Amino acid sequence: MQKAYTNIIQIAGDVITVEAEGVGYSEIAQITTRSGVSLAQVIRIDAQKVSLQVFAGTRGIATGDKVRFLGFPMRVATGENLLGRIFNGSGLPLDHGPALSDNLVDIGAPSVNPAKRIIPNKMIRTGIPMIDVFNSLVESQKLPVFSIAGEPYNELLARIAIQAEVDIIIVGGMGLKYDDYLFFKETLNSHGALSRCVFFMHTAADPTVECLLVPDISLAVAEDFALKGKRVLVLLTDMTNFADSLKEISITMEQVPSNRGYPGDLYSQLAARYEKAVDFEGAGSITILSATTMPGDDVTHPVPDNTGYITEGQFYLKSGVIEPFGSLSRLKQQVNGKTRSDHRAIMDTMIQLFASYRETLEKQSMGFQMSAWDEKLLKYGALFEKNMMSLKVNISLEKALDLGWQILADCFSPEETGIKLSIIEKFWPKNNGKD
């Protein structure tokens, strides 16, 4: 059955075309070249002409090399044996451990029936007020960190991973610098988390096609754990590299590009990955945190733009802090009504006042006279930035809410906040800001 073909008729980019028969769409093939064996996947069939993307790249492939179709789609080993291990995008070990082939599952399996999902309702506490108070993270959420290239997004992801109460952490690295990879490994190790982690690493030096496989392979493993009742956190960094790999392959395949060279199905491709985030009825969950770097800090760039429409909010990391504007957790309403009765009031009011503060800053920079109200806002803004926004702050949600009231009381009178009277009566600090 497994017939080998040797007539490669085209090699372009990372895609080869071979003449073969009876080949299934998205099937895997092995290509034996003089430098070893590489895997490839069928991406187009045109009668006898079968195009494949070669995971290890096409460099060194000869037109007479042997292509053997395996008759099944891409698979990955799953289960406890993966914990603590490091693999590449094709699922081959990068550490010194053995290759695994137990409990193989297909990657890119069908989507979850919406009728079998449940409404997410468990908050993931991170100790970061900008997340816990203003944009709470919820189990089974899919949330990217938007930032420009130099921001500490990997640090933020690692910190959340360590503090979050989850069973399994899966790190999918795409186009990662080798340093970043070491950083993840060391940080998770120093907090004793490595034994519940699985790494799928594609570094910037590795072939493009392997980058495309990282999210699928990470999520297939995560899905298997989640079906067995585990709560899984998947970190994907950086999804912009994934999108760029998609672009590279689609241009090679001569597809009509839609926007800045990206393929027209970029949205569907990203969604197919992000939508794997799920809270299974009667089983575990998958939470996805990703990094999306925005070229030129442009949120309208196709990658962050499409991502934003798919994910349930985003954390916008700018100048080392999570910006309150542009950041959003769409699922926060599922959990922040159950924490403390002042949570929503503090969340809304502090942000509205912070928006006014930003306007005042603008006025100040243009040299306008500051009114008494402006002075109050300036004081408020400074306190807010120092005690709430800084990523150095690491306090519980309840402490952060108390701190919020203190800041408000230090700067304003109750009616200036516009908060409902019933909540003011209950929570407004009795020392009236004079501590």
What is the CB neighbour count within 10 angstroms for residue 113? Answer: 7
Binders in 280-309 for another protein, by CB under 8 A: 280, 283, 299-302, 305-306, 308-309
What is the CB neighbour count within 10 angstroms for residue 359? Answer: 11
Q: Which is nearer to another protein, 12 or 182 (CB)?
A: 12
Binders in 369-428 for another protein, by CB under 8 A: 369, 371-374, 415-416, 418-421
Shortest approach of another protein to residue 24 CB, angstroms?
4
Regarding 2 and contact with another protein (CB under 8 A), the answer is no
Residue keyed to tokens 């292509």: 67
- Find the binder of another protein among 155, 275, 297, 410 (CB under 8 A): 275
- Find the binder of another protein among 190, 259, 394, 432 (CB under 8 A): 259
- Find the binder of another protein among 70, 83, 162, 272 (CB under 8 A): 272
Are 130 and 389 in contact by the 8 Å Cβ rule? The answer is yes
- Find the binder of another protein among 325, 382, 396, 398 (CB under 8 A): 325
- Find the binder of another protein among 314, 342, 380, 381 (CB under 8 A): 314
Selected range binding another protein among 58-66, 160-168, 189-197, 311-319, rule: CB under 8 A: 311-319
- Cα separation, 327 vs 201, in Å, equals 28
Selected range binding another protein among 11-19, 161-169, 344-352, 399-407, rule: CB under 8 A: 344-352
- Cα separation, 204 vs 191, in Å, equals 26
Q: Kindly state the number of chain residues that form the binding site for another protein, as judged by CB under 8 A.
A: 84
- What is the DSSP annotation of 306-326? HHHHHSSEEEEEETTEE-SSS
Regarding 111 and contact with another protein (CB under 8 A), the answer is yes
Structure-token pair, residue 8 = 């490669």
Is the alpha carbon torsion for 294, 295, 300, 304 positive or negative? negative
Binders in 7-26 for another protein, by CB under 8 A: 21-26
Binders in 26-65 for another protein, by CB under 8 A: 26-27, 44-48
Binders in 145-204 for another protein, by CB under 8 A: none
Q: Which residues of 22-59 are buried (b: 16+ CB within 10 A; e: fewer)?
A: ebeeebbbebebeeeebbbbbbeeeeeebbbbbbbbbe
Selected range binding another protein among 77-85, 158-166, 263-271, 392-400, rule: CB under 8 A: 263-271
Binders in 353-372 for another protein, by CB under 8 A: 355, 362-363, 366, 368-369, 371-372
What is the CB neighbour count within 10 angstroms for residue 271? Answer: 18
Selected range binding another protein among 4-12, 91-99, 147-155, 277-285, rule: CB under 8 A: 277-285
Are 266 and 302 in contact by the 8 Å Cβ rule? The answer is yes
For 215, phi and psi rounded to 5 degrees? -60, -45
Shortest approach of another protein to residue 60 CB, angstroms?
28
Contacts (Cβ under 8 Å, ≥6 apart) of 300: none
- Find the binder of another protein among 155, 167, 265, 410 (CB under 8 A): 265
